[in-house]
Each structure stands twice: as structure tokens, then as C-alpha cells.
Amino acid sequence: MPDNVFQFSCPCCGKMVEVDTRSGRARAVRPDEAKGGQNLDTLLRSHKGESQRLADVFDDAQRQQKRQGERLDDVLKRAKDEARKDKDDKPRNIFDLE
């Protein structure tokens, strides 16, 4: 490490902070950066798997919404049919119950 670069632990979050005194720039150093991080192929595979999982969850939610809409349409249709069958019955007036 050059003489003009200092590392110290941040008192708030505990991350390592690297400060270059010559340029005045500071950056947070992640511990996985020092280890080399993950392989790019591994990251891409995990990203593909995660995107596929999210797509499946979204598709399931769409199917459930469609089924719920169809179910509500059926309930409304049955209620309309029942209302048509009972056309002769006038609704009771609550004031006539005395």
C-alpha cells in the first residue's frame, strides 16, 4: 500500500474506508473485494436463476388475478340471474314493518 493511502474502520458502519491523501478521494473497501469477490460466471448464473424465479412468481400472480377476476364475474352473473328471476318480488320497505 502506498504511503499516501490510509485505511481505517468507519465508526458508524464498521466498513473499512480507504483515503488517498494525495488526491483527497475516499472509498469504502468491502471485505469481499480483498478476497477477490465471486466469479463472474457464478454471479451470472445466480442472476439468471433469480430472474427466472421472479418471472415464475410474477406469472403465478397474474394467473391468480385472472382466476379471481373470472370468479368474481361468475358471482356477479349469478347474482344478476337471481335478480332477474325475482323481478316480481318488490323489495320490502323497512318503514312498512310497524
Q: Give residue 97's pLDDT band: very low, low, confident or very high (50, 70, 90).
A: low
**Residue with grid cell 349469478, as numbered in its chain:** 78
Cell numbers for 63, please give them: 394467473
Mean residue pLDDT across the chain: 82
Spatial contact of 25 and 10, defined as CB atoms under 8 Å apart:
no
**Residue with grid cell 335478480, as numbered in its chain:** 83
Looking at residue 16, what is its pLDDT?
Answer: 82
- Look at 8 and 1; give whichever has higher pLDDT: 8
Query: Is the pLDDT assigned to residue 4 strictly greater than 70?
Result: yes
Nearest to 26 by CA among 10, 12, 37: 10
Please state, in angstroms and rounded to a whole number, the distance separating the CA atoms of residues 2 and 9. Answer: 18
41-65 confidence digits (pLDDT tens): 888 888 888 999 999 999 999 999 9
Spatial contact of 33 and 21, defined as CB atoms under 8 Å apart:
no
